[in-house]
Amino acid sequence: MEMRVYKGDLTQEKADLLVVGHFSDAKVLSGALSILDKAMAGRLAKLMNEDGFKAKLATTFFTHVNGEIAAKRVLVVGLGKKEEVDLEAVRQAAAVAVNVAKECGAKTVVSELHLHGGLKASDCAQAMVEGARLADYSFNKYKKPSHKSPKLFAIVANDGRDVRSAEKGLALGELAAQGTIFARDLVNTPAHDVHPETLVDVAKAIAKGKSSIRVRVFDREALKRMGAGGILGVAQGSDHPPYLVHMTYKPAKPSKKSIALVGKAVTFDSGGLSLKPADFMMTMKCDMAGAAAVLGAFSVIARLAPAVEVHGIFGAVENMPSGGAIRPGDVLTAMNKKTMEVLNTDAEGRLTLADTLSYAVKLKPSFIVDLATLTGACVVALGEEITGLMSNDDKVAAHVLSAAALAGEKMWRLPLEKNYKKVIKSQVADLQNIGNKWGGALTAGLFLEEFVDKTPWVHLDIAGPAFAERDIDAYTHKGATGHGVRTLSALLRSL
Ligand code: BES
Ligand code: ZN
Ligand code: ZN
């Protein structure tokens, strides 16, 4: 699907599907819709009325055209209340248009730029590109596509200034969408095709031919020398060896500031000897979604061109039961020398992150952001669509939350309650890897905090939003979502 922005007259566009927006609280037709309605001699308003179309957000009205305008069909997309139109409404509207185009087999889609309220043309175009591209996504590695994509999605603006601004947004939207799709593909690929060594290859492939990106890989022997007991312990039960991967992006103009992006990279989480029930194991190829988000961001980082140095770090392992696997009761020593009693081998993410975060701290970054499908408890607390954010630094937390809001990824801050630290104190080690029955997302966050020293740090528990067990909205279909990549892209651009 090609995407373009240009200045044009909607009545003259020879599209298979012409798309305009409408507000649920509009008394009269306005903007592009009123122009189309006039060209169609009031027929559009009459039909919408007959259908009882209310223009609630992401609802649609669809009609064929009798030659009154150049397009074959018109799609009116509801944007909700005029005052409430935000970038997410715009993203959903563009996604809905692509979904309808796929259903009716439209090859060319031309949409107005949904520029309303105080929104900027560049942000609107970026949101439209993201919505359209992500709605168009399907995972076809192991089957034939069930729908044909449109060939063209064009965005039409009324004035030249908006076009120039929208073109910039289009380029950014393409990067954010491409990074997200990169992550979706990695997460959707079954665990028999994504082993820890596969993630090493992916990191190397991203860096290949790019002078701004370097990759360092630490294998099992190196990890032993470094004292990475968490990663080594979790990997013990698997036939596939673990790796620590460290990617570095350096900006063209050297910068003293650097940030570290850390991802959980468990390529399959069976639970280990504390084996998961079958139903819970079904989607556990998604347990490397944190690393996939970091890799997704790195796949476009050279073109995003952030002004600071960026580290991407993950400890890739597979969590399997076997005669060699770690046992409940075993004690592991992390890279920062803290000891961890493994009471449940299914709480493996924090064991690997203990080492990965310790490693990140040594790089002395301005701040660390980690993304991890860490706890089912976070999904219980916030549901499937919202990431739990925990942080030891209010400023960095606010910064990440505002990037997430701009990117349309839902995140909510949870507390790192000091009083709960006592439930992860161990009888035999510095820490134990599970708390009590309650507040599991928080006790996992507190566990991680033990490995970041004083470095400003944001922990994103993406266990809910990383993988959709059903269709969530117009551009988040069942399967991997690529959640986190758009927030990271927005964050990197803002530094
Ligand atoms: N990978 C899981 C968490 C998860 C759950 C991710 C649902 C995605 C969707 C993690 O390793 C895990 O198993 N956590 C345990 C921790 C518990 C044993 C303290 C959990 O949440 O049940
Ligand atoms: Zn687990
Ligand atoms: Zn896990």
Query: 172 in a domain, yes or no?
Result: no
Q: Where are the beta strands (DSSP E) in 178-271?
A: 213-218, 243-249, 258-269
Atom of ligand 1 nearest to the CA of 280: 7
Q: Is the pTM of this model over 0.85?
A: yes
Name the 3-class secondary structure at 473.
strand
- How close is the Cα of 351 to the center of ligand 1, in Å? 12
Asked if residue 203 and residue 154 are part of one domain, the reply reads: no
- Separation CA 456–CA 8 (nearest Å): 48
Give the total number of structural domains in the chain.
2
**pLDDT, tens digit (0-9, with 9 covering 90-100), for 142-192:** 999 988 899 999 999 989 999 999 999 999 999 999 999 999 999 999 999
CATH code (residue 105): 3.40.220.10
Question: Minimum-distance ligand to the CA of 467?
Answer: 1
Q: Give the mean pLDDT of the chain.
A: 97
Quote the distance between the C-alpha of residue 204 and its chain's center.
21
The residues, ordered by sequence, that sit 6+ positions from 376 with a Cβ below 8 Å of its Cβ are 280, 440, 463
| Ligand 1 within 6 A of CB of 349 | yes
352 φ, ψ (degrees, to nearest 5) = -75, -35
H-type alpha helices, 79-159: 87-104, 121-136
**Which of these three, 109, 142, 158, is where a domain ends?**
158
H helix or E strand, kind and range, residue 46: helix 43-51
Quote the distance between the C-alpha of residue 434 and its chain's center.
27
CATH code (residue 377): 3.40.630.10
Query: 167 in a domain, yes or no?
Result: no
For β-strands 309-319 and 387-391, DSSP reports them as: unpaired
> What is the mean pLDDT of the segment spanning 288-305?
98
117 lies in which domain range? 2-158
| Ligand 1 within 6 A of CB of 328 | no
- Kindly calculate the radius of gyration of the chain based on its CA atoms and give it in whole angstroms: 24
Torsion angle in degrees (nearest 10) through CA of 362, 365, 367, 371: -60
| Ligand 1 within 6 A of CB of 231 | no
Asked if residue 292 and residue 212 are part of one domain, the reply reads: yes
Q: Tell me what pLDDT residue 42 has.
A: 95
| Ligand 1 within 6 A of CB of 373 | yes
- Separation CA 176–CA 186 (nearest Å): 16
Atom of ligand 1 nearest to the CA of 443: 19
Which residues are known catalytic residues?
276, 350
H helix or E strand, kind and range, residue 77: strand 73-78
- How close is the Cα of 319 to the center of ligand 2, in Å? 8
Query: 266 in a domain, yes or no?
Result: yes
Query: 173 in a domain, yes or no?
Result: no
Q: Whose CA is nearest to atom 16 of ligand 1?
A: 347
H helix or E strand, kind and range, residue 22: strand 17-22
Query: 163 in a domain, yes or no?
Result: no
Query: 176 in a domain, yes or no?
Result: no
Q: Tell me what pLDDT residue 147 has.
A: 85
Question: Minimum-distance ligand to the CA of 346?
Answer: 2
Atom of ligand 1 nearest to the CA of 435: 19
Query: 177 in a domain, yes or no?
Result: no
Asked if residue 104 and residue 34 are part of one domain, the reply reads: yes
Please say whether the beta carbons of 100 and 136 come within 8 A: no
| Ligand 1 within 6 A of CB of 440 | yes
Asked if residue 420 and residue 278 are part of one domain, the reply reads: yes
**pLDDT, tens digit (0-9, with 9 covering 90-100), for 212-258:** 999 999 999 999 999 999 999 999 999 999 999 999 999 999 999 99
Q: Tell me what pLDDT residue 265 has.
A: 99
